[in-house]
Amino acid sequence: MAAASKAAISSSAVLGSISTLNNPSLLKMSYYFTILSPTDTPLFNIAFGTSKGGGDGIARFRFPETAQYMNQFIIHSSLDILEEAQWTNGGMYLKHIDTYPPAAAYISAFLTPSGARFLLLHQPPNLPSSTSSSSGLGSSSLLGTAGSTTRASSSSIAANPTSPQTEEAVRQFMNEVYENYVKTAMSPFYKQGMEIKSPVFRTRVTAAGKKWL
Amino acid sequence: MTSPGDAAPVKPPPSFSPGVARVASTSPSRYPGEHETTQSLDAELAESQTVSSPTPLSATVAELPIRSGSSHSRSGRSSTPQLARSSIGSPFDGRSDGSEDIRSSIIRSFSPTIAVHASEDTDDLVRSKGFKGGFWELIRPFGETVSGKVVIRDSIGSSRAWEDYGVRFADFKGIGRTPLNRDSGPLAQMEEVLTKQLDSSGGMLGASVRTKDVLGLPATTPLCKSFLQQLLCSAPTAPHETFGHPVANVIAISSRNAAPLETLRQLYADGTTGNKQLPDWVNQEYLRYYVLVHDEERDNITESIKLYDQMKRHFGLHCHLLRLRSSQCVVTDDDSMQVPQCEWLSPSEHLSGAEALVDLGTDGTPYLFGSDATAIRAFIRELVVQSVIPFMENKVAVWNDQVASRRRGISGRFMSMSRRWAGFGSSSRSSIGGSSGGISGNYDPTQHSYSPDSPEAILRKMADFAFMLRDWKLAASTYEMIRSDYGNDKAWKYHAGAHEMCAVSMLLNPLATSAKIKLESVDQMFETACYSYLTRCSDAPHALRCLSLAVELLKSRGGSATESAAKWAMRVMDFGLVGSVGQILYTERVAACYASKTPVGAAKWGGRRRKAGMWRILAADQWLKAGQPTLASACLEEAERLYADVLQADGVFPMPEMQSFVDNLRHAVKVEYLGARGFDTRDAPASEDPLATEETSEKLDMRHHRRSLVGPPMQLDAGALNATQGPLDPQSPPNDDFERA
């Protein structure tokens, strides 16, 4: 365990020296998670922010408060790519499939056997100017990673939404949500295609988000 | 080489001449019926307002200026080469008219520049005809299309006939001088022109006149096309690319001149010495062409013919006798015709032209006698076909032989390799100079230019000539060869230009199929060009031109290239190269790029309908914010059509926030539109009862989609529907049946 954490520290230190963004106070990723039925109807929506690195778990998207529909537009438009990707990729987790460059929004997708799709939009915060973020870079990134190994991986998630660490973290999140989704869908009171209103499910998704993202 | 004798084009077999009919259909007014459409819309609107005061939303929205089906006009000219020998079909045969049109525009924008240097008496003669700018202004509009086919032989000896060949006449005194600045760059001017066009046209310019491609998707708006044209001709003459450098110089005198040969000598000398001389980075090896303008009304033709014979004896073949009438033509004269509009006007000319029009009232364009127009056309055809094209072909062949092949050979490669290493190592540079020209000594960093006789400059000129002769294969290989040299010399503008043109000529080459050229390498070249232009030279106009070319050409490639086209369009917006109206135009371009990616196979995957729809909706939102409800409603309409395939049958968005946003947008557009047209929006019940509105608007969607599935809505059809819908209850079942049938 100690060896693993050491490796993580050293790798993240390298990352930190490459990326000037590795300052935890500036790395509040925002997430928007949606479950879509096979007919594209949304079954479940949740928006949350990162809880890692001192994040408070509140989503702060780049759009103004009045333009939150943009998340849905972006998710909806990425279905074009999803429909293409699902035939070329054998796995259930399709990884990062799409980006929306004007807002730097990244979409990851997960397919379930029943045809429901999990889509996660993740968006790094507005990039601060490199001069402000480079101050105290080395020390803070090392302090942030010294706490635990998951923290080490989380700080690199935020630094680079397409990195393998992020893919892995999103995969863990998706798997956990999938387990909970199966349990919820097996409930006798739930019919296929119904909106998921269960508060238990919502808290579990929130917990998974806290744990992995 | 094409000698003047065999100028008769090698005719393709009759079965393979699709372009002929198209040329016949080109008329000065390309979009007849534009104004009728708008007026009838207004009339209908007024009618429905009076007949049924609680106008159902469905009716009003249907009457919003939707793309009229009647404006289905084919693009005037085709840039598809008609191969003389082999009948290799163009890979773009199945492509949309619109993108073909854009391609043709792009190709024609890189046409040879011919300087016009006229004597004072010639300019006086032409001024008396009502052309204030003199001889140059008179012949300029006619140069943009050379009548008939122009046959060009490429480097491997095969001939092709082009129907849309043109040349650009430039005022000799203006070349290389910075134009009178209106204390704003070309980009700001373009934005200004756009705003003016929007205001003057009341929005109809962008909305109702559209060319449609096979699928019924609009390919481009006139606004967008005019933006692109201005962009392509806004670049001033610069050292790093030779498209603006004169290929030939037309020296004109008139029959009024007392000492004609002396004047000719003087005009010739102006080109090489004196203060009218071209900048020293312009290659002086251009063709001189001598024109004698004969005044039909005041001077004796026998005298002129005698003088002309004398000129021919002195100067050889490159002479022409142009017979014009000197009196001014007015509309009422028999045989009068309007001078065609210049297609390629730079933004500053657009702005000054607009002011002139306001001054003069309505008839700003002068008239010309038909006989004069015929004479000018014949003159330009002779100039281009018999002198300019053979001259350029000859130059390309000579340079290819003397300069390029030396570089291509094994020793040339060795030279350029040793040059590359020389920079790292010792100062052995000077010894390697030799035959392949100097090392980096040819580049003058203070002037930011190469001297015109250095191999780097000549190769660039040769590549540009090949490009203008539409021999893209040779052009691409030459640009490819020299682009790294410029990087070694740190000649960043040359570097950027060579990368840009290399990518463009690769994309234009119709015989290289998309599988053959690597899109990644093209992307990489655009990336490099853009970086060099923007970061190293901070030359925003060229960067914007480069990116726009990338967008349009990649889009016309189709397939997976459309994705990178969309990416470049987003990059334009990201860099902030365009103003607020330009941002909206590029939003529309992104949508058009995605929309042009068509789904393949039975599974219908690979389309980008949702993305296109989203961008259209964003564009509609922005148009509305810019105060252009007409354009916004056109975008909205377009978005609905794009979404029709991907949404469930009733056209309702599955996501509630999207649905409410679209509903609000639709409503706001309608209110703004009616307000702009002078209708009292308070009467409309929609603004009072949002719930009812929502219901009816869904009804509308349903009906609309059904119609669009059957086929593109026809103008007549729409009119009939509106007429019946007004008084009837829109929810009555017979109405539905009628439509379904």
Question: For residues B727 and B52, is the Cβ–Cβ distance under 8 A?
Answer: yes
Half-sphere exposure of A42 (CA within 13 A, CB side): 21
Q: Are B226 and B217 in contact (CB under 8 A)?
A: no
Mark residue A176 as left, alpha or beta (left: phi above 0; alpha: psi -120 to 50; beta: remaining). Answer: alpha
**Residue B574 to residue A102, Cβ atoms within 8 A:** yes
Residue in A70, A72, A87, A126 to test binding to B, most B beta-carbons within 10 Å: A72
Which one, of B255, B328, B251, B336, lies nearest residue B295 by Cα? Answer: B255
Contact A76 B614 (CB under 8 A): yes
- The residues, ordered by sequence, that sit 6+ positions from B521 with a Cβ below 8 Å of its Cβ are none
In degrees, rounded to 5, the angle at the alpha carbon of residue B539 between the alpha carbons of residues B535 and B543 is 85
Phi and psi, residue A107, nearest 5°: -115, 130
Q: What distances in angstroms separate CA B575 from CA A101, B490, B530, one per listed residue?
A: 12, 24, 11
- Tokens found for residue B682: 């308070």
Position B416 scores a pLDDT of 58
Distance CA B493, CA B545 (A): 14
Token look-up 């026809």 returns: B714
Identify residues of B whose CB sits under 8 angstroms from chain A CBs: 567, 570-571, 573-574, 603, 605-611, 613-614, 617-618, 646-648, 653-658, 660-661
Q: What is the pLDDT of residue B337?
A: 84
Closest to B289 measured CA to CA, from B245, B262, B249, B316:
B249
Beta-bridge partner residues of A86:
none
Q: For residue B658, give the nearest of A36, A69, A101 by CB distance.
A: A69
Asked if the Cβ–Cβ distance from B658 to A87 is below 8 Å, we say no
Domain boundaries defined on chain A: 2-212
Do residues B209 and B37 make contact, with C-beta atoms less than 8 angstroms apart? no
CB distance B209 to B71 below 8 Å? yes
| Residue where the block lists tokens 């300029």 | B140
Q: What count of residues does chain B have?
A: 741
B69, B715 contact by CB (below 8 A): yes
Of B573, B646, B648, the CB nearest to A102: B573
For residue B528, the SS3 value is helix
- Count chain A–chain B contacts defined by CB atoms under 8 A: 55
The tokens of B730 are what? 């829109």
Cα separation, B119 vs B256, whole angstroms: 11
| Contact yes or no for A68 and B611 at CB 8 A | no
Q: How far is B584 from chain A (nearest CA, A)?
A: 14
pLDDT at res. B467: 94
B91, B95, B98, B104 alpha-carbon torsion, rounded to 10°: 0
CB contact under 8 A, A76 and B653: yes
Query: Shortest CA distance to B136 belongs to which of B390, B349, B392, B330?
Result: B349
Chain B closest-CA separation from residue A152 CA (Å): 32
Nearest CA in chain B to A34: B655
**Beta strands in B229-324, from DSSP E residues, in sequence order:** 246-254, 287-295, 319-324
Q: Which residues are CB-neighbours of B204 under 8 A, at least 6 positions away? A: B34, B38, B65, B630
Quick one: tokens of B712? 């593109």
Cα–Cα separations (whole angstroms), residue B693 to B51, B557, B664: 20, 42, 10
B contacts of A43 (beta carbons < 8 Å): none
In this predicted structure, what is the pLDDT of residue B271? 75
Residue B62 host element (H or E): helix B57-63
Joined tokens for residue A190: 């739930």
- Nearest residue, CB atoms, B607 vs list A42, A78, A80: A80
User: d(Cα A8, Cα A138) in Å, to the nearest integer?
Assistant: 15
What is the pLDDT, as a whole number, of residue B186? 76
CA distance B726 to A210: 57
> Residue B341: CA atoms inside 13 Å, Cβ hemisphere, count?
12
Chain A neighbors of B660, CB-CB under 8 A: 69
Closest Cβ opposite residue B570 in set A40, A80, A102: A102
B370 φ, ψ to 5°? -60, -35
Whole-number Å distance between alpha carbons of B175 and B480: 28
Residues of A in contact with B654 (CB under 8 A): 36, 39-42, 76
B622 token code pair:
């922005």
Q: Do A61 and A68 meet the contact criterion of CB atoms below 8 Å apart?
A: yes
Q: What fold is seen in the domain A2-212? A: Beta-Lactamase (3.30.450)
* B430-to-A37, A182, B426, B438, B455 alpha-carbon distances in Å: 72, 76, 10, 8, 16
- Stretches in chain B below the pLDDT threshold 70: 1-99, 176-184, 201-220, 274-276, 353-365, 409-441, 511-517, 601-605, 648-651, 679-741
The burial of B183, by beta-carbon neighbours within 10 Å (0-12 exposed, 13-18 middle, 19 or more buried), is given as: exposed
Query: B329 has which bridge partners?
Result: B367
Rounded to a whole number of angstroms, the distance from the CA of B635 to the nearest CA of chain A is 16
Per-residue pLDDT reduced to its tens digit, A129-152: 333 333 333 333 333 333 333 333
Cβ contact, residue pair B614, A36, below 8 Å? no
In order of B193, B235, B665, the CA distances from B581 in angstroms are: 10, 20, 19
Residue identified by tokens 């990201």 is B574
pLDDT-above-70 percentage for chain B:
65
Structure tokens at B210: 């559209």
Query: Distance (Å, rounded) from C-alpha B455 to C-alpha B302?
Result: 48
Determine, for residues B574 and A76 on separate chains, whether the beta-carbon distance falls below 8 Å. no
Q: Measured between alpha carbons, how far is A100 from A75 in angstroms, rounded to an integer?
A: 10
Distance of CA B132 to the CA centre of its chain: 27
Contact of B502 with B525, CB cutoff 8 Å: yes
**Predicted complex ipTM:** 0.76
Closest CA in chain B for residue A39 = B648
CA distance B207 to B669: 14
Cβ neighbours for B709, distance < 8 A, ≥ 6 positions apart: B644
Q: How far is B43 from chain A (nearest CA, A)?
A: 37
Taking CB atoms and an 8 Å limit, are A76 and B605 in contact across chains? no
Q: Do B614 and A80 touch (CB under 8 A)?
A: no
Question: Which residues, listed in sequence order, are joined to residue B567 by a DSSP beta bridge?
Answer: none
C-alpha B507/C-alpha B517 separation (Å) is 8
Q: In this structure, are residues B646 and B691 in contact, taking their beta carbons and an 8 Å threshold?
A: no
Cα separation, B256 vs B298, whole angstroms: 9
Query: CA B4: distance to chain centroid?
Result: 30
**Which residues, 6 or more positions from B4, have their beta carbon under 8 angstroms from its beta carbon?**
B317, B385, B386, B390
- Per the structure block, which two tokens stand in for B142? 């006619």
Q: How far apart are CA B387 and CA B374, in angstroms?
A: 19
Q: What share of chain A is helix, strand, coil (3-state, %, to 5)?
A: 50, 15, 30
Q: Name the residue among A42, A78, A87 with its Cβ closest to that of B605.
A: A87
Tokens (6 digits) for B46: 């007024």
CB B495 within 8 A of CB B483: yes
Helix (H) or strand (E) holding B464: helix B455-468
User: Among all residues of chain B, which has the CA nearest to that of A87?
Assistant: B605
d(CA A195, CA B287): 77
CA dist., res. B682 & res. B626, Å (int): 22
Kindly list the residues of chain A whose beta carbon comes within 8 Å of any beta carbon in chain B. 36, 39-42, 68-69, 72-80, 83-84, 87, 101-102
Low-confidence ranges of chain A (pLDDT < 70): 1-27, 53, 65-66, 126-159
Helix, strand, or coil (residue A99): strand
Nearest-by-Cβ selection for B611 from A40, A69, A77 = A77
* Cβ-defined contact of B658 to A73 (cutoff 8 Å): yes
For residue B695, what are the CA distances in angstroms to B215, B699, B731, B737?
A: 30, 7, 11, 20
How far is the C-alpha of B611 from the C-alpha of A102, rounded, in Å? 13
Q: Distance between CA B636 and CA B46 in Å, rounded?
A: 22
Burial A80-95, CB ≥16 within 10 A → b, else e: bbbbbbbeeeeebbbb
Q: Tell me, what's the pLDDT at A65? A: 66
Closest Cα in chain B, distance from residue A158 (Å): 22
Instruction: Name the residue in chain B with its Cα closest to that of A41.
Output: B654
Of B258, B251, B246, which Cα lies nearest the Cα of B291? B251
Q: From CA B172, how far away is CA B271, in angstroms rounded? A: 9
What the block records as the tokens of B597 is 């990616």
